[in-house]
Amino acid sequence: MKINVTLVKGALTGLTVMAGLVAYSSQAQALTPEGMMVRGGQLYDWYYQITTGDIQTGTHVSMPADAGQTGKKTWRCSACHGFNYAGDLGIGGILGASGKSADEIIAIIKDAKHNYTSDMFTDEDFQSLAMFVSKGAVDISKLSGDVKKGQGYFETICAACHGNDGKKITDMPPVGAVVNKLPDRSLHRIRFSKPGDSMPALSALPLDVSVDVWSYTKTLPQE
């Protein structure tokens, strides 16, 4: 049998190129530490808005019976530990895990008290959430910002979508109203964005930037 060498070489070249593209694609999709931090913050906030894994529908085993919460929302880390990271509903916060290794934190996330499984989160999700808990959560009670600096940041980063008065997006309350009603959650979302939303996350910038923006938004019109 006569083999067409030219065709074979072409096929091999094509396979090499495809392999290179697959490797490049895989590399391109790997999250940077900054990207992992944002994903971790969003998983903490509202995991089932962005997860590719299973979504739990039953009430979480650690949700207090008198909390008045049931169903899948009880699986949000923020539902128990709060956006101040100090703990809500009589449940402890996550600040005590600050600085722990990823392996230590992932073991806690997977333990019987938390019960997050590999059917729910990818390995990258676990690593991202652990990075957020270890390095992203801060004691909000100790933060104060510079309103004037925050105005400059807001007008150059945020106003394109929200308007200088925070009222440009009409299908949500004014920014000033949201931040004053839910200040802790607002700072979290300034830093890590809202899961499934197009708003940029500021967490790759110094923490002071987010805190300054947060402080300024409290002064915006609430109506």
110-127 residue pLDDT tens: 999 999 999 999 999 999
Q: Which positions ≥6 away from 141 have C-beta within 8 Å?
A: 84, 86
Give the domain CATH number at 40.
1.10.760
Q: Find where tokens 């004691």 sit.
A: 139
Specify if 147 maps to a domain: yes
Q: From residue 195, give the alpha-carbon distance in Å to each of 56, 152, 188.
A: 17, 26, 11
pLDDT at 149: 98
Summarize pLDDT for 19-77 with one digit per residue, the tens. Answer: 443 443 344 578 999 999 999 999 999 999 999 999 999 999 999 988 889 999 999 99
Residue 182 and residue 91 in one domain: no
Specify if 27 maps to a domain: no
Q: Which of 13-22, 51-60, 182-191 has the lowest mean pLDDT?
A: 13-22
Specify if 15 maps to a domain: no
d(Cα 146, Cα 207) in Å, to the nearest integer? 12
Residue 40 and residue 112 in one domain: yes
Q: Whole domain around residue 152: which residue ranges?
A: 143-217
What three-state secondary structure class fits 214?
helix
Residue 82 and residue 174 in one domain: no
Residue 126 and residue 80 in one domain: yes
Do residues 90 and 82 touch, judged by C-beta distance below 8 A?
no
**pTM of structure:** 0.86
Mean pLDDT of all residues belonging to the chain? 89
From 85, 112, 140, the end of a domain falls on 140
Summarize pLDDT for 199-213 with one digit per residue, the tens. Answer: 999 999 999 999 999
Residue 124 and residue 181 in one domain: no
